[in-house]
Amino acid sequence: MIVLDNHLHLSPRGMGWRAIRDFEKKGGTHIVLSHMPYQETPVLEGSFLSQYKVTLAMAEEVRENTGVGVLVSLGPYPVELLRLVEMLGKEKAVAVMRRGMEEAATLVEEGKAHAIGEVGRPHFPVDEWTWEASNEILGYGMELAAELGCPVIVHCESATEQTWKDLAKMADNAGLPREKVVKHYSTPTISIEENRGIFPSVLAGKDAVKKALSQGTRFTMETDYIDDPDRPGAVLAPTTVPKRARWLLEGGMATETELDIVFRKNPERLYGVELKEP
Ligand SMILES: [Zn+2]
């Protein structure tokens, strides 16, 4: 059976591929490794490439040391904009973020990555300029994704009705199918009437996945594990998704057919890949 964690991070300062060995021991088969800013590799000379290389190298380490399949998501993390504005001023900061989108798109085109993300807007209140600039940068990322046919993994505030509407409108404007826009760290908002066709990636808490499954199978599951040695236990453990799968099956809360949709069919359609059992 395929068991996929749709969004987690690894850090060069953390457990790295060893965290994924634990995931594998519990029955996990695939991960989507998402880029995040790494303290030790700041954005240099206006390019995100040195940072993206860290993520790609960690993906390679997972492939070399485990049997877990790795998809990669690359993009300029939304909160980076605030740091870049302080360093470079507003205009240059936006240019660097846009370039980060282009660099991610190029790596998707080369087959080294499978999605643009996580990108979006800060999850906390910001001034109007930052909000609008973030939306504009996200819109640009969606345009690039539309050309490539790849998904965009969105980081933003906890979704309200307005959030789903905003994302749907942005996707439409960019010509990107709404189902290629993934709301990561999502609540179990599964009905298309509510999420407006945006694709939810649900945090794998027990109540959340139960609630999601009671509404259907159009979602993926994730931990958003951050592999930060300074904040152990701050987020769900990397073993959570396979443990949750077993718990759902043994408790009769999900069938194998349902989990096959959540863990295999949905990601296959999103990323345009075929997932094989190891
Ligand atoms: Zn994340």
* Superfamily (CATH H level) for 4-271: Metal-dependent hydrolases (3.20.20.140)
Radius of gyration of the chain from Cα atoms?
A: 18
Judge residue 205's burial from the number of C-beta atoms within 10 Å of its C-beta, 0-12 exposed, 13-18 middle, 19 or more buried: middle
Which residues pair with residue 186 across a beta bridge?
202
How far is ligand 1, taken at its centre, from the CA of residue 133, in Å? 21
Tally the residues of the chain: 278
| Backbone CA torsion sign across 200, 203, 204, 205 | negative
**What is the structure's pLDDT at 26?**
98
How far is ligand 1, taken at its centre, from the CA of residue 156, in Å? 10
How far is ligand 1, taken at its centre, from the CA of residue 215, in Å? 25
How far is ligand 1, taken at its centre, from the CA of residue 222, in Å? 9
**What is the structure's pLDDT at 42?**
72
Enumerate the H helices of the chain as residue ranges: 17-25, 49-65, 80-88, 90-109, 128-148, 161-174, 192-195, 206-215, 240-250, 256-260, 266-271
**What is the structure's pLDDT at 175?**
98
How far is ligand 1, taken at its centre, from the CA of residue 191, in Å? 23
Which residues pair with residue 2 across a beta bridge?
none
How far is ligand 1, taken at its centre, from the CA of residue 9, in Å? 7
How far is ligand 1, taken at its centre, from the CA of residue 246, in Å? 24
| Locus of tokens 């718990």 | 247
Residue-wise pLDDT tens for the chain (278 aa)? 999 999 999 999 999 999 999 999 999 999 999 999 998 777 767 899 999 999 999 999 999 999 999 999 999 999 999 999 999 999 999 999 999 999 999 999 999 999 999 999 999 999 999 999 999 999 999 999 999 999 999 999 999 999 999 999 999 999 999 999 999 999 999 999 999 999 999 999 999 999 999 999 999 999 999 999 888 777 899 999 999 999 999 999 999 999 999 999 999 999 999 999 98
Where on the phi/psi map is residue 224: left (φ > 0), alpha (ψ -120 to 50), or beta? left
Where along the chain do its domains lie? 4-271
Judge residue 125's burial from the number of C-beta atoms within 10 Å of its C-beta, 0-12 exposed, 13-18 middle, 19 or more buried: exposed
How far is ligand 1, taken at its centre, from the CA of residue 162, in Å? 21
How far is ligand 1, taken at its centre, from the CA of residue 19, in Å? 16
How far is ligand 1, taken at its centre, from the CA of residue 1, in Å? 25
Report the C-alpha gap between 257 and 276 in whole angstroms: 16
How far is ligand 1, taken at its centre, from the CA of residue 173, in Å? 25
Q: Are 163 and 44 in contact (CB under 8 A)?
A: no
How far is ligand 1, taken at its centre, from the CA of residue 157, in Å? 12
